Structure 1
Amino acid sequence: MSGDKLSFFEPGTSGKAVLLVHGLTGAPAEMRLVARRFHRRGYSVYAPLLAGHGDTATTLRRSCWQDWLETVETAAEWLARRNDAVFAAGICVGGKLCLMAAANAPMHVDAVALYSPCFHYDGWQVPRYQSLLSQHLSWLSPIPLLGRLSFKETPSLGIKDTRMRRMIAGLSREGILDAFPAKALFEMHRLGETVKARLAKISTPTLIVHSRQDDLSGPSHARFIADHIGSRHHLHWLDDSYHMIHVDRQHREVADVSAAFFEAEYALS
């Protein structure tokens, strides 16, 4: 288990655990609302800090997606040694890392929940220039200058509920950054391309939860995964949240739908 000050673990009583993975530039603190809901159901919950995160943009730039994945794989293995079943849930990049961890070591992850999956930023609130850059990262990434740039968060922070938005805005002390380093976006793109290439061979049952109002990632990303993943899966739509569905108005529904999916898959195993 990680020894940093930002990760958190709460032991449960059911013999089952949920691994919760934060998003790009995020931190474990953003997973606490859904963690609390899972924990009330008896699950152990573990939210590790991804490699390169929780410090500064400079630190994040020094990491790559393989470093992030190693964090998730190590956490999944740690939980698997101590529980009868391990489920992994992650927001955006965190979800893709969960999927990759399950693909690489299916014996450690029994089911996955993807929250607001995203391969590039194309939501209705993303500036046009940023959306175009996000969609063409494969040929932009070799340009050294671009790697040193950063892109500010959208004004909404991906959250429709204004009260929750204020709460997340105050979490900089918990390791959450307020801008996306371009280098990290390049790594997000590389991770996404790797996930796409492996979707058809993934066997781990997968829940996909996405909001039709997602301001950063359009619904096409969720549909793409549902259309191409090789495993048993379910696509659940939300209608009153933006991108950060795990902290927005429907975070309780997100956790409850996930728990129901996990329990159904556990019963089939």
Structure 2
Amino acid sequence: MRATLLQRLLLLTLLVVGSSCASVKKITSGRGVLCADDWVSYDGKTMPWKAWPVPAGTKPRGVVIAVHGLSGAKSDFWYLGEQLPLRGYTVYSYDLRGQGNDPVVSERGDIQSAKTWQKDLATFHALIRRRHPRTPVFWYGESLGSLIALHTAADLLGNWSDPDGIILASPVAGLRMTLTGFQRFVLETAARLSPRSRYSLGELAGVDESKIQVTSHSTHGGQMAVTPHHVSAFSLRLLSSIGGMLDANAESARRLKMPVLFVASPNDVMSSADQIQSLFAQIRSRDKKLLWYTRSYHLLLHDVQRQEVVHDVTRWLDRHIE
């Protein structure tokens, strides 16, 4: 019985769009270097990036940095990159280290700490700020990216280079399954004993991935079968880190003062509508908004209401640069 509980815990932790440990208190971004097709982060790590610029001959009204989810990639934002430039916004995205397009194959599926992801975002943000001086810069974090954006924005609070606003898409506000103290203890102990041990979804619980709905017309298993950047297994230290970040969600939300937009679905496989609403309530920014998409699931930009999502995001951006 205990083995089954552990398996469920690990599976849900994976699907929660795994991030890393507790909130980082004073993030400092290294200079970094932005090259033609890749960029160098604060610690010398090189990763790919992509831009969807506004039409030639025009200047962007604003800039959006998009941060993808677990087993995702910068290419996941193709629709955002196709639509927002037509409305005056240049879109940037980069591949997260430890995910399927990490240039170091042996590091895919692993991360030492959430601090690394957060410092990467802070560094990339600084590079884009320098490329677009005096232009508003916003973040669009999806799933795992929502966790990274939330905690990084909270930890940059008070810095002149804060983003002008953050959009949390399919925010990971908690787990639909309540974790017991025993479950957390087993996971954390296993991670300490064998932090780099990796598990696939099938190994964790034997769950049929074709039943995990991520859009109104596709499942997690179906999506991964046609995704070249799919990561088949993740390290225990990546999984064990998620609990710490989720535990710190409310604290980070209370530190936000910049404008915040939630775009979410009540059908999300990760977090319930009540959990999303509860996290939203913790945000103390006077400028916050929550929008629901009731016919969609977790991957909003790939679902039936993606036009509505982009329309609403554009209206929100317009309001905050005017």
Q: Please tell me the TM-score bracket, short chain as reference.
A: 0.7 to 0.9
For the pair shown, which has the larger CA radius of gyration, 1 or 2?
2
Q: Distance in 2 between matches of 1:89 and 1:138?
A: 33
- Which residues of 2 match residues 191-210 of structure 1 at below 5 A? 191-210=245-264
* Correspondence 1:263 to 2:306: no
Amino acid at match of 2:150: L
Name the amino acid aligned to 2:63: A
Bigger shift: residues 156-165 or 191-200: 156-165
Pair 146,219 (structure 1): closer, same or farther in 2 beyond 3 Å: farther
- Name which of 136, 139, 142 aligns with 1:88: 139
1:101 maps to 2:155: no
Is 1:234 the equivalent of 2:280?
A: no
Residue 112 of structure 2 aligns with which residue? 63
Partner of 1:185: 239
Percent of matched pairs sharing the same residue: 21
**In 2, are the aligned partners of 1:91 and 1:117 still within 8 Å (CA)?**
yes
Q: Distance in 2 between matches of 1:100 and 1:40?
A: 30
State the TM-score, normalized to the length of structure 2. Answer: 0.70
Q: Kindly indicate whether the alpha-carbon contact (under 8 Å) linking 2:213 and 2:269 is maintained by their aligned counterparts in 1.
A: no
CA contact (8 A) 1:21 1:28 kept: yes
Q: Quick one: which of 127, 132, 140 aligns to 2:187?
A: 140
Contact 2:146 2:169 in 1 (8 A): yes
| Matches of 1:214 and 1:57, distance apart in 2 | 31
Is 1:24 aligned with 2:70? yes
Cα deviation code 1:122-145 (max 9, x no counterpart) = 2xxxxx7xx748995466223235
Which residue identity lines up with residue 74 of structure 2 in the other structure? P
Equivalent residue letter for 1:250? Q
**How far off its partner does 1:8 sit?**
1.0
Return the TM-score normalized by structure 1.
0.83
CA–CA separation in structure 1 for the residues paired with 2:150 and 2:182 = 22
The structure-2 alpha-carbon separation of the partners of 1:242 and 1:179, relative to structure 1 and needing over 3 Å to count, comes to farther
- Corresponding pairs, count: 258
Distance, in Å, in 1 between the alignment partners of 2:214 and 2:145 is 15
- Alignment map for 1:242-261 (pairs within 5 Å): 242-261=297-316
Cα deviation, residue 157, structure 1: 5.8
Question: Cα 1:180–1:209, aligned 2, differ >3 Å: closer, same or farther?
Answer: farther
8 Å Cα contact 1:159-1:165 kept in structure 2: no
Code of the residue aligned with 2:230 in structure 1: it is: I
Structure-2 change in CA distance of 1:57 and 1:5 (3 Å): closer
Question: Structure 1: any 5+ residue segments left out of the alignment?
Answer: 123-127
Distance in 2, matches of 1:134 and 1:92, equals 25
Q: Distance in 2 between matches of 1:30 and 1:57?
A: 22
Name the amino acid aligned to 1:171. T
Q: What is the identity, as a one-letter code, of the residue corresponding to 1:98?
A: A
The one-letter amino acid paired with 2:98 is G
Equivalent position of 2:199 in the other structure: 150
In 2, Cα distance between the equivalents of 1:225 and 1:189?
Answer: 15
Which of 157, 160, 174 aligns to 2:216? It is: 160
Does the 8 Å contact 1:18/1:89 carry over to 2?
yes
Distance in 2, Cα, partners of 1:40 & 1:98: 25
